[in-house]
Amino acid sequence: MSEEFSCQISPPFLSEGSDRDLGLDSTLQELPMYNFPVEINCTGMEVANFLEKHPLLPGVILVEQEKFIGMISRRRLLEFLIRPYGQELFVQQPLAVLYSYARIPMLLLADTTSILIAMQLSLKRSPELLSEPIVVQTVSGAHRLLDVQELNIISWQIRGIENLVRYERSQARMIQNDKMANLGRLVDGIAHEILDPVSFIWGNIIYVSNYSQDLLKLIAAYDKELPSASQAINQIKEEIEFDFLEQDLVRSLASIRTGAERLKKLVTSLQNFCHIDEIYPKPVDLHGCIDSIILLINSRLQGEIEIVKYYGQLPPVYCFMGQLNQVLMNILSEAVDTLLNEAVRQQLHLEDAKIVQKPRIEITTEVISQEANNPDAPDSRWVLIRIADNSPGISEELQQQIMESFALETKTGKETSLAVSYRIITARHGGKFNLRSQLGLGTEFEILLPLV
């Protein structure tokens, strides 16, 4: 077919694109594109004949000795040919002459560009260029033509997928929130049921202790008044080991009291953690919240991690206690996991470790003042919660990824615990959430809550 023309023109080739389903992260590589390079010395008539035989071809790619020059769209070429004297002027002329008149700004994109981003860039063009095809450069350096109508159809399909994903994500969040609310009510009810018998034990252990002391006094008085007890009484004392019973009874009652007290604190902490927030924030004792979370994770510390508290004088802070407990749990769990993993690593490489530091978490609270940006405005007061550890620290690259997760919602809808904590502090409480880390020194989380 190409022998009919004075220049060599290969038939246009349309790539089929990718077979996999398109998604939110799909790129231009997965779309069908036209491969139709034409040497710039070919005439307008030769190209017009090719466009007539291939009505779906959006345009031609101009090359000079296989080097990319530019692009002329079908619409632009036909506009010049149907003008008065257009055929006489341009039909027999090389495409270089026509291109010098028909040249317009073109949109050139890499084939790794996201389809949604390509759609946005296409719509930003001036109105007379919206129908112009897009030139796509492949990784190998070749150039292809992408029909803008094809891009529009595919991008709207992806938009539909995105809306469906958002809807399903919102439904999943509603179900998850409802599930967590029901779970919180269930745990709160169970904790209440546990707390009732614990309260009975706690309330009666004092009376049992006093009664036992009175009975021991009575037995001691009998021994004093009747020093020569009968053989039957002496035999009973030997059988029950009365001397040991008298000493151990006090210790046993003290152990029961200590256990009941710990169980009561644990159940109360569980109730506080499962607290269902109301519409408006309420004043909360932050030190009580921190102590409750530490009590809940105490079993994970395994006696290996030391927690040091530097509590300042804090007034009650207005906040959503349930959400704040979640933030404290997320941060402390993150610190505990990091320290335990490092402790295991040091045990495995004990011969390489010069100095083995005891895992340590420091919790500091205080009220601070910060200067306002407006010089006429008074200084703002904040409640500071600083949680620092002596872990190996976080690399700058990982810190950057964490900070990006704070600002952007992931496409999969799976947010990290730190990203959730950031949103709770900043969006729900109007506070600040800072992360600082240095390799070899440790990691520090800083929570600032406005003091109203």
Q: What is the pLDDT of residues 328-354, one digit of tens each?
A: 989 998 999 888 888 887 777 665 555
pLDDT score of 5 more than 70: no
Q: What is the pLDDT of residues 123-144, one digit of tens each?
A: 888 888 888 888 888 888 888 8
246, 349: one domain: no
Rounded distance between C-alpha atoms, residue 407 and residue 427, angstroms = 12
131, 206: one domain: no
The neighbouring-strand residues paired with 380 are 370
Question: Residue 134: what pLDDT?
Answer: 87
Question: Residue 1: what pLDDT?
Answer: 35
123, 253: one domain: no
pLDDT score of 13 more than 70: no
Structural domain contains residue 86: yes
The CATH number that applies at residue 61 is: 3.10.580.10
236, 285: one domain: no
Close Cβ partners of 113 (under 8 Å, ≥ 6 residues apart): 27, 28, 121
pLDDT score of 445 more than 90: yes
Q: Which of 276, 293, 317 is the endpoint of a domain? A: 276
284, 430: one domain: yes
For the whole model, what pTM was predicted? 0.55
145 pLDDT band (50/70/90 cuts)? confident
270, 283: one domain: no
Q: Which residue has the higher pLDDT, 446 or 11?
A: 446
pLDDT score of 4 more than 50: no
Taking the mean position of all CA atoms in its chain, how far away is CA 16?
37
36-40, 188-192, 259-263, 291-295: which has the highest mean pLDDT?
291-295
Question: Residue 347: what pLDDT?
Answer: 74
Instruction: Select from 289, 341, 306 the least CA-distant residue to 447.
Output: 289
Question: Residue 313: what pLDDT?
Answer: 93
Mean pLDDT of 411-431: 79
Q: Which of 276, 295, 316 is the endpoint of a domain? A: 276
Question: Residue 446: what pLDDT?
Answer: 94
pLDDT-above-90 percentage for the chain: 11
pLDDT score of 376 more than 90: no
Question: Residue 10: what pLDDT?
Answer: 63
Question: Residue 211: what pLDDT?
Answer: 87
Rounded distance between C-alpha atoms, residue 160 and residue 313, angstroms = 54
Mean pLDDT of 382-407: 87
Question: Residue 386: what pLDDT?
Answer: 95
Which of 418-425's residues contact partners 24+ apart within 8 Å by CB, and which partners?
Answer: 418/330, 418/331, 418/334, 420/326, 420/330, 421/326, 421/327, 421/330, 421/331, 424/320, 424/323, 424/324, 424/326, 424/327, 425/327, 425/449
Structural domain contains residue 152: no
56-65, 74-83, 306-315: which has the highest mean pLDDT?
306-315
115, 261: one domain: no
Q: Which of 232, 257, 276 is the endpoint of a domain? A: 276
Mean pLDDT of 28-51: 81
410, 315: one domain: yes
257, 294: one domain: no
Rounded distance between C-alpha atoms, residue 137 and residue 99, angstroms = 20
Question: Residue 219: what pLDDT?
Answer: 84
pLDDT score of 323 more than 50: yes
Q: What is the pLDDT of residues 200-247, one digit of tens each?
A: 887 888 888 888 888 888 888 888 887 777 788 888 888 888 888 888
Structural domain contains residue 258: yes
Question: Residue 375: what pLDDT?
Answer: 54
Q: How far is CA 66 from CA 69, 141, 198, 420, 425, in A?
A: 9, 11, 86, 54, 58
As given in the structure block, the two tokens for residue 265 are: 């604190």
The CATH number that applies at residue 327 is: 3.30.565.10
Question: Quick one: angle between helices 286-296 and 321-348, nearest 10?
Answer: 40
316, 433: one domain: yes
Structural domain contains residue 159: no
Structural domain contains residue 163: no
Sign of the dihedral defined by the CA atoms of residues 217, 220, 225, 226, in that order:
positive
391, 404: one domain: yes
Say how many domains are in the chain: 3
Structural domain contains residue 155: no
Structural domain contains residue 303: yes
Structural domain contains residue 266: yes
Q: What is the pLDDT of residues 271-313, one digit of tens each?
A: 777 766 667 888 989 998 899 889 888 878 877 889 999 999 9
Residue span of the structural domain in which 303 resides: 279-452
86, 140: one domain: yes
Question: Sheet holding 34-35: strands in order across?
Answer: 13-14, 34-35, 143-146, 134-137, 108-110
Rounded distance between C-alpha atoms, residue 422 and residue 327, angstroms = 8
